[in-house]
Amino acid sequence: MTTVADVVMPRLSDSMEEGTILHWLKAEGDRVRRGEEIVEIETDKATMTYAADADGVLAIVASEGDTLPIGAVIAHLGDTAGNGGGEALASTRAEEGAVTLAVSASAAKTPRSSPAQPSPPPDRDGRKHASPVARRMAADLGVELADVEGSGPGGRVVKADVEAASQTAAPAPTAPTAPPTAEPAPGTAKGAVRIEELSRTQQTIARRMAESRATVPDFLVNVEIDMEGAVELRSRWRAAAELLGEDRIVPSLNDMVVKACALALRDFPRANGAYRDGHFELYERVNVGVAVAAEDALVVPVIVDADARSLEQIAREAAELAERVRARTITPPELAGATFTVSNLGMLGVHSFTAVINPPQAAILAVGAVEQRAVVRDGELVSRHVVTMTLACDHRILYGADGARFLGRVRELLEAPLALTL
């Protein structure tokens, strides 16, 4: 007896609702084994490959560029035993499309063995029919979609078409001119309008930040922290690493902030929790998310059990995660499970700022630049390295005194940074 297994759009992250097929790694009719990677999928957080969960002959249902909800069938895997697998697979697919084939044969006199594939209509705004990935790639490479011959279903332009066109197409003009019109179009006072479609990650950010502002009653707590000791510790750490001549990573000031937050979260469990439907959720593990800017989006990889890791381990993992974010090789598990977030814009020269809480977390810490400022110490005016930090708190779970005490603990740890190395 032969069997056919459905391959469905998997849930690859907690917030994922749909995914886009970027690239099939196996071809139609290929025999695949369980655990073999068969397709590359773009989610709301990252791009990753998906492996087959059964053996079988691959029959592709969803084309590259198609966006489908979780649970939708994207392919079938037929039984690999003998030749019966191919027959069972064909039978299953024929059953799924029996009504469509019958209508097609009746209306267009198309033979059942070779059903006609109707061309899809253009996009609703009249533009060339193309996958979201192809459209973004065309914009990046300066390729005119109108001039690209699509090889996808019904002539749809897919990623490979744009890549091929970019190798032969002439450079696109740097200042495209609007086509002549009989009368001025509305909004011409603003000049030409260029529409940019959001990536799946940008769509998720927009939705979650709007959700945060609409549902979270937040308040802010600010503090200035003397980072002189942390700067000196880092300088000595670097000198020791050079003296040893080893390839050892030197923790950054932000790594010290992450470690300080992780230790403070142990002391203030509600800061490491969430407000959910009228009750508090207090988490056993301390998982600190570190915001990383990448290609017009903000991605937050997670350092799991940050309170139990050494400062050097945090530094190494943070560097590796940031590199994978920028290389677009980060995986959904590495972006999941954060109980608190640190966002640092100090490297961009920002003095201070307010970050938006990532629901359902109770708080987020915004870190500004470490700057040399004139401060009073023991009655004397001296120059010290100082940083301004702003804690945004969900007032449903953290109150003013809670936020102040938590931030005070972070300050204590950073002003006595040897405690971070123990």
Give the residue numbers marked as catalytic: 395
For 234, the 3-state DSSP assignment is: helix
Number of Cβ atoms within 10 Å of the Cβ of 276: 12
For the purposes of burial, counting CB atoms within 10 Å of the CB of 194, is it exposed (0-12), middle (13-18) or buried (19 or more)? exposed
**Structure token pair of residue 407:** 């931030």
Q: How far apart are CA 144 and CA 165, in angstroms?
A: 9
Inter-helix orientation angle 159-168/132-141, to 10° = 20
Tokens of 350: 């920002």
Q: What angle do CA 361, 366, 368 make, to 5 degrees?
A: 170
Tokens of 139: 């914009």
Residue type, 96: E
Beta-sheet strand order (sheet of 47-51): 47-51, 37-42, 18-24, 67-69
CA distance 199 to 145: 18
Q: Do residues 34 and 53 touch, judged by C-beta distance below 8 A?
A: yes
CB atoms within 10 A of CB 131: 24
